[in-house]
Chains A and B, each alone.
Chain A
């Protein structure tokens, strides 16, 4: 199978799982379909040459975050009551807003990548996006030179070192905040 075929199979799996996720009455089933979406997305990341992101997608999202969701759902024992899907007025609003948003995003996605090259005034005669964007070519060469993780670690720990350290403070604040909020009495 070619990469395109695999991509379209995975994309179909992700979209069907996402639709089932918002359509299921039982929150546990919703959470499991969301896990399925995230696994399909992780496989798509591998196809898009982002192996490190694929790994942390499975570890952090499908592993940690969704386990937290399932834990809270089962702790609260929700889903036994009647359906929580809104009435017809809201459904029409959701469809209209969804169609409008999808149209806008479709038009936006048509702008890239050749359009981006035209906008930035660097469209090559060949029209290949990689010729117009040297950073993209460098991004494709870097994993071969220093490994998949090394290619991400360099910008992460050089250019983005301060945001990275601030992220650790954010995580600490979130952990302390979650404990304070969830505790009955301090």
Chain B
């Protein structure tokens, strides 16, 4: 029963993902950090599904589907932005800045 250690690993992975979002300016790497955070949450669901029943694993299934949809649409948006600004660096994407 590796529940406690698995929750700690999940917390550390989520924190690394948050730190990545704060540290990087490349929009694609930002998306990868978001995937890292989603994976950390999936690990929490799987770890707790040992104790609380198999519903957690079903929810992991849904999270993966939503993550795949999010990656497809997000990367298409990045592609469109790249066509507009010739860059995926967030410092060049300031359309909403007053």
Q: Hey, which bits of chain A sit against chain B, CB under 8 A?
A: 3-4, 7-8, 11, 14-15, 18-19, 21-22, 27, 30-31, 34, 37-38, 41, 44-45, 47-50, 52-53, 56-57, 60-61, 64-65, 68-69, 72-73, 75-76, 78-79, 81, 84-86, 90-91, 93-95, 97-98, 101-102, 105-106, 108-109, 112-113, 116, 129-130, 133, 135-136, 138-140, 142, 151-152, 155-156, 159-160, 163, 167, 170-171, 173-175, 177-179, 181-182, 184
Contact of B51 among A105, A130, A155, A178 (CB under 8 A): A130
Contact B26 A27 (CB under 8 A): yes
Residue contact B22 to A136, C-beta cutoff 8 Å: no
- List 6 extra interface pairs beyond A37-B13, A182-B76, CB under 8 A: A4-B2, A18-B13, A47-B2, A69-B31, A86-B24, A98-B18
Instruction: Mark interface residues in B51-86 (1 if CB within 8 Å of A CB, else 0).
Output: 111110110111011111111110111111011000
* B76 x A44 contact (CB < 8 A): no
Q: Which residues of A contact B71 (CB under 8 A)?
A: 65, 68-69
Return chain B residues, CB-CB under 8 Å to A7.
Answer: 2, 5-6
Q: Which of A64, A106, A181 has the most CB of B within 10 A?
A: A181
Q: Is the CB of B32 within 8 A of A139?
A: no
B78 A72 Cβ-Cβ under 8 A:
yes
Instruction: Report if A85-B54 is in contact (Cβ < 8 Å); known contacts: A101-B18, A174-B73.
Output: no
Contact for B39 among A37, A47, A135, A177, CB less than 8 A: A37
Q: Which residues of B contact A41 (CB under 8 A)?
A: 39, 42-43
Please state if A181 and B25 are interface contacts (CB–CB under 8 Å). Answer: no
Cβ contacts B2-42/A at 8 Å (1 or 0 each): 11111111111111111110111110110111011001001
Nearest residue, chain A, Cβ from B31: A69
Name which of A21, A38, A90 has the most chain B CB atoms within 10 A of its CB: A21
Known: A72-B28, A151-B54, A152-B57. A34 touches B36 (CB 8 A): yes
Residues on B with C-beta less than 8 A from A90 are 22-23
Q: Are A105 and B3 also in contact (CB < 8 A) when A64-B68, A177-B76 are? A: no
The reply to whether B26 and A129 contact each other, CB–CB distance below 8 Å, is: no
Instruction: For A178, list chain B residues within 8 Å (CB).
Output: 72-73, 75-76
Q: Specify which chain A residues have a CB less than 8 angstroms from the CB of B18 in the assembled complex.
A: 94, 97-98, 101
- B82 surroundings in chain A (CB, below 8 A): 76
Task: Please state if A61 and B64 are interface contacts (CB–CB under 8 Å).
Answer: yes
- Identify B23's interface contact among A91, A108, A177, CB under 8 A: A91
Chain A to chain B contacts (Cβ below 8 Å), 15 pairs:
A11-B9, A22-B20, A27-B28, A48-B46, A49-B50, A65-B67, A65-B68, A76-B78, A78-B88, A81-B89, A101-B15, A109-B7, A135-B55, A156-B61, A178-B76
